[in-house]
């Protein structure tokens, strides 16, 4: 099978979308399928034997931290020259819009996957908030061009169905249970993340540093307790502001960590914190659980879908300090903490990247089959 993947983000960027996508590509290549990746040109031109074709990038004035590729006609030429059996557009918005429109125009079976709640992000950027209905209409327009739409949590699937997104299916989650494992615990890393205070409770955050991630909500917790350390792993447009917010608290900012260092950071903490309610899934939750960390998270559809309260993690009401303090206080019991850590790892072991990747291939095969059946029916009628 020849598969063209058009994506808004790819290596060397690191986020949940790239993780899911690279794992799927590895599987597709292992199954000897031909894959073309069309992505922003960030200097990567091959992955696991798949060709990566770069599209010219630009920096957007409202988000200078990351480079984007705008809609471009060259995407049409890339798809047409490759002549795929199916096109998969990942997170269609900018260059992905070209992928959607040209794939539909050229007559290829089309799958689109929804990974980022951009309209919800607008709640955190006041100047753009009035545009929220426009954004919802735009994304619905793009996704409803596809023969099949995928999303990464049941909560988001239901929300998109209610908003009249067409043919939404759940693309299951997975995790690398060897890369993220309690055995990666490292005392030097714990010293680094606790600023030399390894006996304190260490809570970890890993992810992009942006206002919609709501990391600032953790400040009162650190103000109220001297025995808790927070390590923030990642980078992003809100980093400087967050460093000012957490100045004088027991907080360490590491910037991005990769490979073994990232595995060590996860395994060397006591718990993982996830304060955002805008995520479509949050793969990092499963990575933390695989590392043997209970997850302390603000309640949302996707977090409640992944975390079993009191068993694999602790949930708190968003914007409710008392609820957050109560959740964190349960870590004071070493017996409870060890129970949560054990349960989190056991739960994560139920997941691997093989099943979601197999599922994606099945989605491709079924979409191609149904597309050609419909084409044959139309041809017969005409």
Domains along the chain with CATH numbers: 2-174+352-381 (3.40.50.2000), 182-348 (3.40.50.2000)
- At 261-271, the pLDDT tens digits run 999 999 999 99
- At 334-376, the pLDDT tens digits run 999 999 999 999 999 999 999 999 999 999 999 999 999 987 8
- At 15-51, the pLDDT tens digits run 999 999 999 999 999 999 999 999 999 999 999 999 9
Residue 378 in this model has a pLDDT that exceeds 80: no
CA 252 – CA 239 distance, rounded (Å): 12
Residues 6+ apart with CB under 8 A from 20: 115, 152, 171, 174, 283, 356
Q: Which residues pair with 231 in a beta bridge?
A: 204, 252
Please give the pLDDT value at position 267.
98
Residue 332 in this model has a pLDDT that exceeds 90: yes
Report residue 89's pLDDT band, with 50, 70 and 90 as the boundaries: very high
Stretch 326-334: mean pLDDT:
97
Stretch 286-294: mean pLDDT:
98
Closest CA to 246 of 270, 218, 280: 218
Report residue 382's pLDDT band, with 50, 70 and 90 as the boundaries: low
To the nearest whole percent, how much of the chain has pLDDT over 70?
A: 99
CA 50 – CA 138 distance, rounded (Å): 31
CB 262 within 8 A of CB 206: yes
- At 115-152, the pLDDT tens digits run 999 998 888 887 778 989 999 999 999 999 999 999 99
Give how far Cα 126 sits from Cα of 117, 122, 131, 212, 372, Å: 16, 7, 10, 12, 45
Give how far Cα 167 sits from Cα of 97, 144, 146, 231, Å: 18, 8, 9, 40
């Amino acid at each position: 099978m020849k598969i063209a993947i058009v994506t808004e983000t790819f290596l060397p960027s690191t986020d949940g979308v790239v993780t899911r996508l690279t794992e799927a590509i590895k599987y597709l290549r292992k199954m000897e399928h031909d894959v073309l990746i069309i992505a922003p040109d960030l200097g990567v031109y091959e992955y696991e034997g798949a060709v990566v074709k770069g599209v010219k990038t630009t920096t957007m004035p409202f988000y200078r931290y990351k480079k984007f590729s705008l809609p471009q006609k060259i995407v049409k030429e890339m798809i047409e020259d490759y002549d795929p059996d199916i096109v998969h557009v990942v997170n269609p918005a900018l260059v992905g819009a070209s992928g959607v429109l040209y794939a539909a125009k050229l007559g290829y079976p089309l799958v689109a996957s929804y990974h980022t709640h951009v309209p919800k992000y607008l709640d955190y950027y006041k100047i753009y908030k009035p545009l929220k209905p426009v954004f919802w209409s735009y994304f619905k327009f793009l996704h409803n061009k596809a023969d099949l739409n995928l999303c990464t949590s049941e909560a988001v699937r239901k929300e998109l169905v209610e908003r009249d997104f067409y043919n939404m299916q759940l693309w299951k989650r997975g995790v690398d249970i060897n890369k993220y494992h309690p055995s990666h615990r490292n005392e030097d890393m714990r010293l680094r993340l606790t600023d030399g205070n390894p006996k304190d409770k260490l809570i970890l955050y890993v992810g992009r540093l942006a206002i919609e991630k709501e990391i600032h909500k953790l400040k009162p917790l650190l103000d109220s307790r001297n025995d808790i350390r927070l390590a923030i792993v990642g980078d992003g447009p809100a980093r400087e502001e967050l460093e000012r917010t957490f100045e004088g608290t027991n907080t360490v900012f590491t910037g991005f960590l990769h490979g073994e260092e990232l595995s060590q950071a996860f395994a060397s903490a006591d718990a993982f914190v996830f304060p955002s309610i805008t995520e479509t899934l949050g793969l990092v939750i499963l990575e933390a659980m695989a590392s043997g960390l209970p997850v302390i998270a603000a309640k949302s559809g996707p977090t409640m879908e992944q975390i079993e309260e009191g068993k694999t993690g602790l949930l708190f009401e968003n914007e409710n300090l008392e609820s957050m303090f109560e959740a964190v206080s349960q870590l004071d019991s070493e017996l409870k903490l060890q129970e949560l850590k054990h349960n989190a790892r056991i739960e994560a072991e139920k997941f691997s990247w093989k099943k979601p990747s197999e599922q994606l291939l099945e989605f491709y095969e079924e979409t191609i089959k149904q597309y050609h059946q419909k084409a044959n029916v139309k041809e017969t009628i005409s």
